[in-house]
Amino acid sequence: MPSTAPTHQRRSHPSRPLRLLHTSDVHLESDTFGHGEQGRKLRDSIRGAFSTVISTANDLQADMLLIVGDLFDSSRVTDEAMDFALGQIARAKMPVVMTPGNHDAHDERSLWIKLPPSEMPRNLHMLLEPEGSTLEFSQLRARVWGRALVEHTPDYRPLAGIAPPMEGMWNIALAHGFFMEEGEFDRSSPINPVDIENSGYDYIALGHIHVFTDCSRGPTRAAYCGTPAPLYQEAGWVAHVRFEPGRGIELERLPVTR
């Protein structure tokens, strides 16, 4: 069921509503699929799930699609697989903002280093700066911040150095990492409640955990959308996020069906 956070008056918000679709952890082209008929069926099923995510975003007339890491299961991707993924992204009728995850990290093997900008879909916007970068979509009254994950270790903090929120804009962040309570640092890429609450952002789109989980703290909504891929029983979801001026942010789990 949709849930709406109370409206907070810490800063002004735009009068324009905003609608996002948030996905992550698709894990296209996993090495674990195998090479037989069963592996081919699983690969095709995961591709079908990603295609359905794009179609769902179009059907909802979303203003933006967020892909929060691990679109691919590794950096070992064939040209055919890359063409498939980019072709699906190009079908989206809205800006697509993406950041790498721990499986497709932005290290020396990064898929995105080798891909010429001329081959990228015009609607794809990558957040590839290790220290973080911000994209501004003035017509949507939205700003999106994210860090590119280079090395998945306990020292990497996905929300470290987050840019200050801007008045009169919807402030959104992408973060691929492991949410844990304050003081727990034994997992790689940790995200703590204080990181979320102190950001001052409207929404933080999380990736890495394959189950839909609401991690909102204080005035900031934050959630894992879960994986859309049919990897196990609890899979097959995306997050539908609606920003309503004066009413707060509505967060809804949507099933992905072919």
- pLDDT exceeds cutoff 80 at 102: yes
Banded model confidence at residue 177, pLDDT cuts 50, 70, 90: very high
What pLDDT was estimated at residue 182? 67
Rounded to whole angstroms, how far apart are CA atoms 10 and 177? Answer: 27
- 97-123 average pLDDT score: 90
What pLDDT was estimated at residue 258? 55
- 109-136 average pLDDT score: 92
Residue pLDDT, tens place only, 130-171: 999 999 999 999 999 999 999 999 989 999 999 999 999 999
Rounded to whole angstroms, how far apart are CA atoms 150 and 2? Answer: 34
- 94-98 average pLDDT score: 98
Who has greater pLDDT, 114 or 112?
A: 112
- pLDDT exceeds cutoff 70 at 129: yes
Who has greater pLDDT, 257 or 101?
A: 101
- pLDDT exceeds cutoff 50 at 3: no
Specify the pTM. Answer: 0.92
Among 49-63, 167-181, 244-258, where is mean pLDDT lowest?
Answer: 244-258
What pLDDT was estimated at residue 9? 41
Residue pLDDT, tens place only, 71-92: 998 888 888 999 999 999 999 9
Who has greater pLDDT, 36 or 96?
A: 96
Average pLDDT value over all residues in the chain: 89
Contacts of 52 (CB under 8 A, 6+ apart): 228, 256, 257, 258
What pLDDT was estimated at residue 185? 60
Asked whether the beta carbons of 77 and 86 are under 8 A apart, the reply is no
Domains of the chain: 3-255 (3.60.21.10)
173 beta partners: 145, 204
